[in-house]
Amino acid sequence: MGDVETPIGRFRYEIDDRGRLRATRWAGPRASNTRTDRASRPSRVRSFSATRDDPVGRAIIAYFAGDVAALDRIPVVLEGTALQQRVWRLLRRIPPGSTRTYRELAERVGRPRAIRAVGQANAANPVGLVIPCHRVIGSDGSLTGYGGGLYRKRWLLAHERRSVGGPAAARTLSRRRSVGPRSG
């Protein structure tokens, strides 16, 4: 197991004996969706336990330092149903700084009426952040649930938009924030 201290909390990950990512999680108690303290302010990665021989940890550190494409280089190994596998592959193809809706994902897996099933597959993602379930939003553009807490989802999306599109892209996310939570 490795971990990285990030601007939004300690991020833990497990790799197999071949260096492939198997699981991730945010450390600590289940996140509150209303926490706004340090997560609302950008900051630098302060410390980490990744070693020179740990490419997964190095990629996570690079992501938080602004190389948001670094996560694409992490090999993953996942077990899940056929639908989960298809949804997770689609999630991994969402470019940093972009979002998709549950409805769009359902249509792309060929099951346009399976919006809830797609949402459940998204929620079952064992390697959050690397398979970017935080890039999925409600059909009305609102931020919907995230296992790490909505404040982390908001921070991750803003971080990616700043990194790929500059300040204007980050401002677009801020305007969306005022929509308020609704079901996706």
Tell me how crowded residue 65 is: count the other CB atoms within 10 A of its CB. Answer: 12
Contact at 8 Å (CB) between 27 and 14? no
Phi, psi of 24, rounded to the nearest 5 degrees: -140, 160
Catalytic residue among 131, 133, 137, 143: 133
Active site residue 157: no
CA distance 23 to 110: 27
Question: Measuring CA to CA, how many Å separate 42 from each of 7, 45, 64?
Answer: 7, 10, 10
Report, as residue numbers or ranges, the catalytic residues.
133
